[in-house]
Amino acid sequence: KQHKEAIRSLLMLTRKRAKSIALSLLPVIGWLKIYQIKEWLLSDIVSGVSTGLVAVLQGLAYCLLASLPAWYGLFSAFFPVIMYFFLGTSRHISVGPFPVLCLMIGSVVTKLVPDEGAHVNITGLEGLSIDDQRVLIASSVTFLVGIMQLVMGVLQVGFVVMYLSDTLVSGFTTAAAVHIVVSQLKFVLGLQVPGISGPLSIIYTLEIIFNKITSTNVCDVVISLVIMVVVFIVKELNDRYKSKLPVPIPIEVIMTVIACGVSYAFDFKTTYGIEVIGHIPKGYEPPVAPNLQIFQQTALDAFPMAIVGFAVAFSVAKVYSVKYDYTIDGNQELIAFGVSNIFGASFKSFAASTALSRSAVQESTGGKTQIAGLISAVMVMIVTLAIGYLLEPLPKSVLGAVVIVNLKGMLMQVRDVPYLWRRDKPDCVVWLGTCIASILLGLDLGLAVGLGVELLSIVLRVQFPRCSVLANIKGTDIYRDRKDYLKVCCTVLCKMHERNSLTF
């Protein structure tokens, strides 16, 4: 009897462990148990439809940043979402293409398979078209990114995101926004500009654009300006009256539909020589194995992608988890994105993270759980399988304009520099060093330089502690640094006794 009881207790313990493991690896089980169908389902459906429309447009637009055929962006807005639904701990982020990651992928793609010049000799690329070679490289890099994220998640090293301070991420994403604007100028201006990667690539690209500026397609410019002005104005109205609007006006989707109709009616491609998306194949392509030789060529490029993709997604997820009072697990998020990228790369999608604008749509339109994300994936699937042909007349200049106007938030981060200089000069140096290095040297080397500057600032802070004079805020018992507050009654509490001691 004692042996039977011992075995029974062991089995019960095993069941508890199995349940605990299942809940930790499949967070979907936890929140589905508390899912309120009557209260949440309709909101998730409305949110999923709205987010899906935005995801289709952003998938096509961001794919241009990766130097791939536009329809592969639809794959990236579908496959990673499916896996994240089961494995992710955030209920509100919208998984899919992220412009900074797409640009980093595009840098690797154009480095190995440039528009002009000799290609890197890689076994398995022989006989493939340039587009097919680039797709295989992008999917292989994404597979490697997924492996790195999965390994970090299994090893419980989600804390690495703490080494990327908000200041460093702000400087890095601002630089990335500058790169994205430059990369989209060729579509907005209707120019043929080869993709360039490596240090000073942004300078060389601008030089080519200025040399070809007389060949600008006026119709592309007009379309782009109209799209940017209208989208910018409506987005500002969305922000100003968001408390009064039931859902934000999906202006990008509206303008895209209008542009498609006008382009088809007036045959922009033939009449004005405008470059359009062109043929979009129906359905999905069979899975493909990654190329191991590409792993060797791109390992150093894949690691910063893995870190940046996770850091951005975790930061956005953390904002919503605090707002709606639930817990997210950094290590489980690494596992979720790792598996999502591995699964997506097998079907020729590229690295996924989250875009703040798309996540904001999912949350602001009433999304309660990742069922909204699943419905958005269904919307993308419908476009891929049935109605993708309707987007074939869409001018690429429209996508370029949509990308640029959505960079406002990242570009406006430059306004933080004066405040950082007043508040904390070492932090300001980190921002400027990361931003300038990323612009001039490229995003991969720029991130490394930014980390180096940040570590150096930490060493300097330890060696030379910051001294401050605290002053009383008039009418309160609160004391703050006198430099941060202009109208305060200064009250020095003690004097400096040693060279490196603090003055309070």
pLDDT digits (tens, 9 = 90+) for 203-219: 999 999 999 999 999 99
Is residue 222's pLDDT more than 90? Answer: yes
127 and 21 co-located in one domain: no
268 belongs to a structural domain: yes
342 and 469 co-located in one domain: no
164 belongs to a structural domain: yes
Q: What is the pLDDT of residues 291-328, one digit of tens each?
A: 899 999 999 999 999 998 998 888 888 888 888 888 88
How far apart CA 423 and CA 140 sit, in angstroms, is 44
Q: What is the mean pLDDT of the chain?
A: 85
How far apart CA 404 and CA 198 sit, in angstroms, is 22
338 belongs to a structural domain: yes
305 belongs to a structural domain: yes
9 and 127 co-located in one domain: no
pLDDT for the residue numbered 221: 94
* Sheet arrangement for strand 470-472: 479-481, 470-472, 489-490
Q: What are phi and psi of 91, to 5 degrees?
A: -95, -5
Q: What is the pLDDT of residues 68-105, one digit of tens each?
A: 998 899 999 999 999 999 999 999 999 999 988 999 99
CB 403 within 8 A of CB 433: no
Per 3-state DSSP, the chain is made up of helix, strand and coil in percentages (nearest 5) of: 70, 5, 30
pLDDT for the residue numbered 19: 62
7 and 88 co-located in one domain: no
135 and 22 co-located in one domain: no
368 and 481 co-located in one domain: no
CB atoms within 10 A of CB 21: 10
121 and 21 co-located in one domain: no
213 and 195 co-located in one domain: yes
254 belongs to a structural domain: yes
Q: What is the pLDDT of residues 97-117, one digit of tens each?
A: 998 899 999 999 988 988 776
pTM of this structure: 0.83
Who's near 29: CB < 8 A, 6+ residues apart? 22, 23
9 and 21 co-located in one domain: yes
How far apart CA 487 and CA 472 sit, in angstroms, is 10
CB 340 within 8 A of CB 146: yes
233 and 172 co-located in one domain: yes
431 belongs to a structural domain: no
Q: 484: domain range? A: 465-504
Domain final residue pick, 380, 414, 448: 414
pLDDT for the residue numbered 146: 95
Is residue 407's pLDDT more than 90? Answer: no
SS (H, E, C) 266-329: HCHHHHHCCCECCCCCCCCCCCCCCCHHHHHHHHHHHHHHHHHHHHHHHHHHHHHHHHHCCCCC
Distance, CA of 184 to chain centre:
17
pLDDT band at 496 (very low <50, low <70, confident <90, very high): very low
pLDDT for the residue numbered 228: 93
Q: What are phi and psi of 498, to 5 degrees?
A: -125, 165
pLDDT for the residue numbered 406: 84
Q: Torsion angle of alpha carbons 70, 72, 76, 78, nearest 10°?
A: 110
Is residue 167's pLDDT more than 70? Answer: yes
22 and 87 co-located in one domain: no
| Choice among 179-193, 204-218, 480-494 with the minimum mean pLDDT | 480-494
Q: Residue written as tokens 């980190």?
A: 430
Is residue 351's pLDDT more than 70? Answer: yes
Domain final residue pick, 414, 429, 450: 414
391 and 492 co-located in one domain: no
CB 93 within 8 A of CB 324: no
| Mean pLDDT value of segment 128-150 | 93
pLDDT band at 3 (very low <50, low <70, confident <90, very high): low
pLDDT band at 227 (very low <50, low <70, confident <90, very high): very high
Query: Which three-class secondary structure state does DSSP give residue 111?
Result: helix
Higher-pLDDT residue of 383 and 117 is 383
Work out how many domains the chain is built from and give that number.
3
419 belongs to a structural domain: no
433 belongs to a structural domain: no
